[in-house]
């Protein structure tokens, strides 16, 4: 498999056009060890093309979150991250300083987590938290950022957003908090959204509403999505491609139809057997 950029052989082709042909996320041979001993990821290959929704499915402890955090540059300092390639929109993420990562995170690439309370600030209003990336990355003034935040709250279907914009996270239900997280992650219209089990903590009806919302927004905004879950049923409707991860390795990868109609690996078969 070659990794060559598209040739810009013609004289007048701007370099930008060749960069846009690169996958939004390109991970080749990603390995992560903690404290030198435990190899948690063992040579993961994963790509997410423009506008694609790729699901990573695997059981608890298989390395899903670690691969997401490695991509976002959010692993603790004692993690050793190695890769043949780890790039975002054709730009290498490894090695990248904290300053460069901060410029990307919440701006060009964003992440949402299983439990919004781990990433929402409990002592900051939800409005202020959605405005934060706009002020930081877009240098927007307070009044304009508030209008954009309000529109975003409306878009993620928070009821009565004008009343809720000045509320604190604990004043909202889990489902609404997850919508706030999505608003915060997407407010700068990132090219890549990494969603790490964003519906796992929610009850089933809310789960499917949130899934539908993520799917709508990615189409609307042209955002590529890496969607992480332990639940194969969750991804059955929205995935373009599926990668099955087991014990730190991708054991099977294919289009949704390939995986659902003709699963090959014993672990994938076990995942199907576990479905209700």
- Applying CB under 6 A, the residues found at the interface with ligand ADP are 34, 40, 58, 60-66, 76
Residue 63: contacted member of Mg ion, ligand ADP, none (CB under 5 to 8 Å, by partner type) = ligand ADP
Q: Which position has the token pair 């063992």?
A: 42
Least separation in angstroms between CB 65 and ligand ADP = 3
Residue 159: contacted member of ligand ADP, Mg ion, none (CB under 5 to 8 Å, by partner type) = none
Give the binding site for Mg ion (CB under 5 A): 64-65
Helices 174-186 and 204-221, packing angle to 10 deg = 10
CA atoms of 218 and 209, how far apart (whole Å): 14
For 113, the token pair is: 């987590």
CA atoms of 37 and 11, how far apart (whole Å): 50
Least separation in angstroms between CB 231 and ligand ADP = 12
Q: Rounded to a whole number, what is the distance in angstroms from the first to the last CA of the chain?
A: 38
Which CB sits closer to ligand ADP, 191 or 244?
244
Which CB sits closer to ligand ADP, 34 or 260?
34
Which CB sits closer to Mg ion, 33 or 200?
200
Which CB sits closer to ligand ADP, 158 or 225?
225
Q: How far is CA 188 from the centre of its chain?
A: 14
Phi-psi label, residue 164: left if phi above 0, alpha if psi -120 to 50, beta otherwise: alpha
For 153, the token pair is: 């709250």
Residue 164: contacted member of Mg ion, ligand ADP, none (CB under 5 to 8 Å, by partner type) = none
Least separation in angstroms between CB 47 and Mg ion = 21
Least separation in angstroms between CB 64 and ligand ADP = 3
């Amino acid at each position: 498999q070659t990794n060559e950029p598209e040739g810009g052989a013609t004289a007048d082709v701007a370099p930008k056009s060749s960069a846009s042909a690169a996958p939004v996320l390109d991970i080749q041979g990603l390995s992560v060890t903690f404290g030198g001993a435990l190899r948690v990821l063992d040579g993961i290959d994963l790509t997410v093309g423009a506008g694609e929704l790729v699901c990573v499915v695997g059981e608890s402890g298989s390395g899903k979150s670690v691969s997401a955090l490695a991509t976002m540059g959010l692993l603790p300092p004692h993690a050793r991250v190695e890769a043949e390639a780890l790039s975002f929109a054709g730009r290498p993420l490894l090695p990248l300083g904290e300053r460069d990562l901060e410029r990307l995170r919440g701006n060009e690439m964003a992440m949402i987590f299983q439990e919004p309370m781990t990433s929402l600030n409990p002592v900051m209003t939800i409005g202020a938290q959605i405005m934060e990336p706009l002020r930081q990355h877009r240098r927007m003034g307070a009044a304009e950022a508030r209008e954009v935040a309000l529109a975003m709250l409306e878009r993620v279907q928070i009821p009565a957003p004008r009343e809720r914009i000045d509320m604190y996270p604990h004043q909202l239900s889990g489902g609404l908090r997850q919508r706030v997280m999505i608003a915060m992650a997407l407010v700068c219209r990132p090219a890549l959204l990494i969603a790490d089990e964003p519906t796992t903590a929610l009850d089933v009806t809310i789960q499917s509403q949130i899934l539908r919302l993520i799917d709508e927004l990615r189409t609307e905004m042209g955002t590529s999505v890496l969607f992480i879950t332990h639940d194969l049923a969750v991804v059955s409707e929205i995935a373009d491609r599926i990668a099955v991860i087991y014990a730190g390795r991708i054991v099977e990868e294919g289009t949704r139809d390939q995986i659902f109609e003709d699963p090959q690996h014993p672990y994938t078969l076990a995942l199907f057997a576990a479905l209700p």
